[in-house]
Amino acid sequence: MAKRARLTKQPPVERESDYLKRILNSMEDGIYIVGRDYRIEFMNSAMQAMCGNGEGHLCYEFFGRHPANCEHCQHQMGSFGPELRHEWHWQETGKNYEIIVSPIHSPDGKVSRLHILRDITQRKQLETQLKQYSRRLESRVAEQAEALIHKERLALLGEISAGLAHEIRTPLGAIITGIKLLEKKSVGSHDADMIFSLVKREIMRLNRKVDEFLSYAKPRLPQLRATPIARLFAEVKDILSTDQGLIGDVSVITEVQPSQLTWFLDADRMKEALLNICVNALQALHGKGTLRLEARSYYEGILEMKIRDNGPGIPAGALPHIFKPFFSRRSEGTGLGLSISRDIIECHRGHITVTSIPNLHTTFRITLREPPR
């Protein structure tokens, strides 16, 4: 009877080791294991195909590097620390690799380092191309933006010039006419006084228009200071009250909640913005009705101010345009007041909107964020 051939079984550890090696050899990434003595313990097939078999060699000698380079993966990473990642340009192959290093524990308690080399040459080339394309794109966008800004500036300059010429021509015409009448020396003292009064009034009107254009053309950054809102409203009300012809019998009401509400803003600039809005409201009221100025901090970090009147309202077709420069529904207006107000409010990190219901109310709503400190 023939003797059966004996089958020798591998120890479990060796079987697991062979199984692990087969898995590593099947991977496309280059993989090698280095012991604490810097010697290469294992290289998978992909790694050997890349650079030859370096098993048993000192890692830094085989890869042509200085021993100091090994300190990073051998000593700066604990036995149970997170993996390390770095990029390496291998001059022999001319390629770029991402190297992932992590600790690996043997059954006998020995700790080695597992290195995975991933070829990222194509990715780096794509990144370089993308950066170059991004720079070219940014350059083109900057050029087009500059051209657009230049075009807009020219258009705005033309608009300002046309608006300024139109606004100056009328008072200048009245002044010139008055001067010609005075030159004739045939007018009586009463008529002369009337002409002087006319010339003075038109000069003041001209000065106001020039001030408006300068305020629009040269906005300045707000100088923020703690400002009691009730005091700000009181100053606006006092200024409005000095022009009895404008305010007439209009009742101006102010309301601030809480009464001690204080906000960081440029009081002079904000006063200018509020006055522009209030003057527009009073011109619409024609001396009759109510103008309300309200303020409250309805949640932390936000101030809300409202300017409300019960006049005839703003036509729906005009609402989208009232903050545009030079848009005015009055022949004597420059159309800059509300535009200046909007710019002042936006410089305060704020926002302004308007709603209007004919013959019921028109409300300008201003919201300001608390400035950073």
* Residue segments in the chain with a per-residue pLDDT below the cut of 70: 1-14, 68-81, 149-150, 152-167, 169-170, 186-187, 209, 212-220, 329-335, 373
The answer to whether residue 169 sits within a structural domain is: yes
Closest CA to 362 of 298, 319, 317: 319
- In angstroms, the CA 191 to CA 288 distance is 33
Residues 241 and 342 in one domain: yes
Please say which residue of 156, 186, 217 terminates a domain: 217
Model's pTM, two decimal places? 0.48
Tokens of 268: 């002079």
For residue 352, give its domain range.
Answer: 225-369
- In angstroms, the CA 164 to CA 50 distance is 77
Q: Which residue has the tokens 């926002």?
A: 351
The dihedral sign for the CA sequence 187, 192, 196, 197 = negative
- Computed on alpha carbons and rounded to an integer, the radius of gyration of the chain in Å comes to 41
Please say which residue of 217, 248, 269 terminates a domain: 217
**pLDDT of res. 1:** 46
**pLDDT of res. 367:** 94
Residues 208 and 250 in one domain: no
**pLDDT of res. 164:** 64
Helix 337-347, helix 267-285: angle, nearest 10: 150
Q: Which residue has the tokens 């009232």?
A: 322
